[in-house]
Every structure is written in structure tokens, then in C-alpha cells.
Amino acid sequence: MSTNKPMPAPTDISAPFWDGLKRGSLTIPRCNSCGHWIFYPRRHCDKCWSHDVAWHEVSGAGSLYTYTLTRIPTLPDFADEMPQALAVVELDEGVRINTTLVGLAEDEIRVGMRLKPVFDRVRDDGSTLLRFTGTDKTITPRGQAPATEQPASPAPAVTVVKVPLSDEAALQALVSDSFTPWSNEVVVDQALIDEFARLSGDDYWIHTDPDKARKQGPFGGTIAHGALVQVLQSRMKIPLGFEITGFTNMVNYGSDRLRFPSPVPAGARIQARARVKRVERLKSGTQLTLEVHTHVVGAERPSVINDLVILYM
């Protein structure tokens, strides 16, 4: 995830809630005078005004009171969470909590559905956010390793058809107007962008200075270099569904077209898909043009369009 996201700032009153989340437990204040559960955390009971309140651990079991799906990030740093299921969850104790739903497909979300808490450790310092998921879901906690070192999702499994280079009809049959399913997702965080800036020498502030980019840049934060997003194609395993066989040599012959139609904000998750645009027999060999589109996850418009030319000899 983006390392630039705003984080909660615990106060004297709310600190027990945030500390509880770090331990993987949900704690809520309750009024000792009238028994009313209180949320958000306050110094007093919002029912009887008593100041005699105490913190209690609760199970976190609850139901979905309402939700909305947001597809446009309010800040670029949240692009990696799109579409985001913003929700109000009513705990069995009766209090309602603003949160986000995770691990649920859009069509699985129903008002009234039963939910359980997810303690999402978002920072190495232990900072944890409270999210919710379906009671039948298993959410793997975030690892300690930097996000860029592990794909955000596994590559999808797909049946691979072997196509001999000599089989003209089979080669032409690969040409298609429709794209493959999506690849695995890759997180483009600030650390990766900084590394690319160092390697390439392109350390322009729109890529490398989150503070200045937030205040002065057109995107409300830093963005990845187009060239970085393009080369990250290698980290995205596109389920092509075919494998050409029977050649002696295969070379990446370059690109017929390379466009960067929309930016990738720092922290975004990207994924790619492709289609075989054409297959041509040339003197030099057989040339396959693969149209690769890389998108920020959930974004309609691609961030990179690359008509990759592969030459088989």
C-alpha cells in the first residue's frame, strides 16, 4: 500500500481503541451508569451524560448497516484500494462504526449481512486499521516485507495451449479483439519509484517529492514514471493461454506503439492484460504483436498501452 496515506492520530480519549487494534482486539467504551455502549470513543456517555465510562473488549461481530462503493480515490494514495467499499457496520452491541469492507466481491455485499473484524496492520510500527469482512472469509494478515517484494495477488491459473510456429492457421487463430483475464497485481509504491529515479536519473520532483507533489503537482501526490510502469510488465504474469513452440530464437523486437494515457499514483496497484493484435510472416521470421494494457486496478483507462513486437525465428 501507499506509504503516503494519512494515518489516524490517536488522542488521549481514543488511544485505547487504537492500542487495542494493534493487539488484534476491538475495545469499545461502555457507560458504567446506564450500560450504554459508546462509539466513537468519548469522555462521557452520550445517553445519560455520565463520565463513568470504562473500556471493554468486544467480539467485533456485527451486521452491515449501509455501504457505498467508491471508484474514484479521494486522494491519489488511495488509488490502490479502488473500488473501495465504504461501510457503516453495526456491532451487536448496537454501536455503528465507519469502516471499509475487504475480501468481498461487489456482488457479495448485502445490507444486513453478518460481518467480522479484520485487524489490518498497515505500518511496520504496528499501526492497525479496523476493517470488516464476511464471516465465511479468511483474510491473510499483511506481511512484514515491503509490498513491492511480493505480488499483491497471485497470478491467475490458466490452461496453456501449445502452438507450433509452423502451424499458420493456429497462429492466426490467436489473433483476437478481446483481452485476456487480468494478471496478478503489483504495488507501485514510493520506494520503487525512488529506486527507478535513482537508476534512470529521472528524479523530477513529480516522482520523488511527495510533499511538493501534494502541494503543487497536478495529481495531488507523486506519480510513477511511465517507463517504470512499462517495465513492470515483467512482474505481471498475463494469462495468455498459449505458448509458441518450435522456434530457435525469440527476441523482444521493440514496440509499435507506446502510450501513457493516465498516471499511476504512488501506492497504486497495477495489473495488465493483453491480446494478440496480429501475426505476420516476414523474411526475418514470424512477428507477433501483443497489445499489452496496464491499468491501475479498477481504473477504466489504461496507464500504459504497449504494442509489443516479438520476433520468433
Binding residue for Zn ion (CB under 5 A) from 23, 47, 51, 162? 47
**Sign of the four-CA dihedral 107, 109, 112, 116:** positive
Nearer to Zn ion, 15 or 48 (CB): 48
Nearer to Zn ion, 34 or 161 (CB): 34
Binding residue for Zn ion (CB under 5 A) from 26, 31, 186, 311? 31
Considering the rule CB under 5 A, would residue 1 count as an interface residue with Zn ion? no
Q: End-to-end CA distance of the chain, in Å?
A: 42
Nearer to Zn ion, 41 or 302 (CB): 41
Nearer to Zn ion, 48 or 313 (CB): 48
Binding residue for Zn ion (CB under 5 A) from 21, 26, 28, 45? 45
Nearer to Zn ion, 50 or 98 (CB): 50
Strands 161-164 and 242-245: parallel
Binding residue for Zn ion (CB under 5 A) from 33, 66, 172, 176? 33
Q: How far is the CB of 74 from Zn ion (least distance, A)?
A: 35
Considering the rule CB under 5 A, would residue 50 count as an interface residue with Zn ion? yes
Q: Rounded to the nearest 5°, which phi and psi values hold at 74? A: -70, -30
| Site for Zn ion, rule CB under 5 A | 31, 33-34, 36, 45, 47-48, 50
